[in-house]
Amino acid sequence: IRDKTVLVTGGAGFIGSHLVAALEPRNEVRVLDNFSSGDRSHLPEAVTVVEGDIHDPIALQQAARGVDIIFHHAAMVSVSQSVDAPRRSNETNLDASLLVLEQARQEDARVVVASSAAVYGHPSELPVPETASTDPTSPYGVQKLALDQYTRLYEDLYDLPTVALRYFNAYGPRQQGPYSGVISTFLEQARADEPITVEGDGEQTRDFVHVSDLVRANLQAATTDNVGEAYNIGTGTRTSIRELAELIRDATDSASSIVHQESRPGDIRHSGADISRAKRTLGFEPRVSLECGIQSLVEGT
Ligand code: UD2
């Protein structure tokens, strides 16, 4: 897309900041972020930054004035924090998302939201299509599912062009911090030659998708005519956590051992996306294999 005015909520965060980099300089880019986990140094100079909470209507209004598209990535991303504090995470992940949708109605702006594989809970089939049953296992998943359904409702009721992207396990540069996901944890352990901590038997599987593929899905969602839909965004390939540990150890030439710990209570055993809808309708094609993605992380490219 080019020559649009766009708002990226959570634009200083992991996925948001990569999206901002892809949108700028062809578009006028605004970012709304409270920098609770995002980082200002991730943002190019030319971006207009509104520092504020996503549930502050004044900040949101200011950031969204006159925009053509809102990419909604601001969220409390920790599943375990949502279990500890369901109301607080609901405020950020759902109440604030409704503010975003309402603001989009006022501006007549397209909205692309970050949904999640968490909407499926324990998937009822593998690979899981968008039509599978949804049964989240955390407040985070319930909040993402409600947001996902609201986007469809806003298209139906108010004719607002909306798209929900259900991300599977995202990884890539700038993913860091205590809730950042298994790849960044393993990479840190391997680099420090510390034991790589596999939770459980390591036979559980995930569909790891590189952030650059998520960015391309967002750009496709920004122009598609097939609005009012949710799309799985993954690679369609599942990798076991044990295999991942070995991949990362090899890629880093690490002396780390691989140790097993207690499995996570309620852990999802297998998760993998059926991405045929996104392929067919958005033209989405993942480009980064897990091997290449890890290699580029290791090389810092
Ligand atoms: C992912 C998403 C989450 C939600 C969920 C939906 C991330 C970071 N989180 O959670 O937001 O959408 O999917 O189902 O993408 N593990 C280890 N050792 C470690 C850390 C993790 O073995 O040191 C295991 C963990 O037990 C799990 C797997 O690795 O089986 C993936 O864990 P995760 O936290 O990266 O992501 P996940 O799938 O729980």
pLDDT at res. 178: 80
CA separation for the pair 179, 175 (Å, rounded):
9
Beta pairing partners, 240: 205
Contacts of 165 (CB under 8 A, 6+ apart): 112, 113, 114, 115, 214, 217, 218, 221, 230, 231, 233
pTM exceeds cut of 0.95:
yes
- Please say whether the beta carbons of 281 and 218 come within 8 A: no
Tell me the C-alpha distance between 264 and 266, whole Å: 6
Residue nearest to atom 33 of ligand 1 (CA): 181
Q: State phi, psi for 5 to the nearest 5 degrees.
A: -100, 120
* CA separation for the pair 177, 164 (Å, rounded): 26
* Type of residue numbered 190: A
Single-letter amino acid code for the residue at 19: L
How far apart are the CA of 191 and the centre of ligand 1, in A?
20
116 CA distance to ligand 1 middle (Å): 12
Q: Which two tokens stand for residue 16?
A: 């948001």
Say how far apart CA 67 and CA 84 lie, in whole Å.
Answer: 35
What is the per-residue DSSP string for 21-52?
A: HHHTTTSEEEEEE--SS--GGGS-TTSEEEES
**pLDDT tens digits in sequence order for the chain, 301 residues long:** 999 999 999 999 999 999 999 999 899 999 999 999 999 999 999 999 999 999 999 999 999 999 999 999 999 999 999 999 999 999 999 999 999 999 999 999 999 999 999 999 999 999 999 999 999 999 999 999 999 999 999 999 999 999 999 999 999 999 988 888 999 999 999 999 999 999 999 999 999 999 999 999 999 999 999 999 999 999 999 999 999 999 999 999 999 999 999 999 999 999 999 999 999 999 999 999 999 999 999 999 7
> Is 231 among the residues known to form the active site?
no
Ligand 1 pocket (Cβ < 6 Å) reads: 77, 79, 116-118, 169-170, 181-182, 185, 197-199, 204, 206, 241, 264, 267-268, 271
The active-site residue, picked from 120, 140, 150, 171, is 140
Pairing of strands 239-240, 205-206: antiparallel
* CB 4 within 8 Å of CB 28: yes
Number of Cβ within a 10 Å radius of residue 145: 23
With beta carbons less than 8 A apart as the criterion, state whether 111 and 136 touch: no
Query: Which amino acid is located at 54 in the chain?
Result: I
CA of 49 to the centre of ligand 1 (A): 31
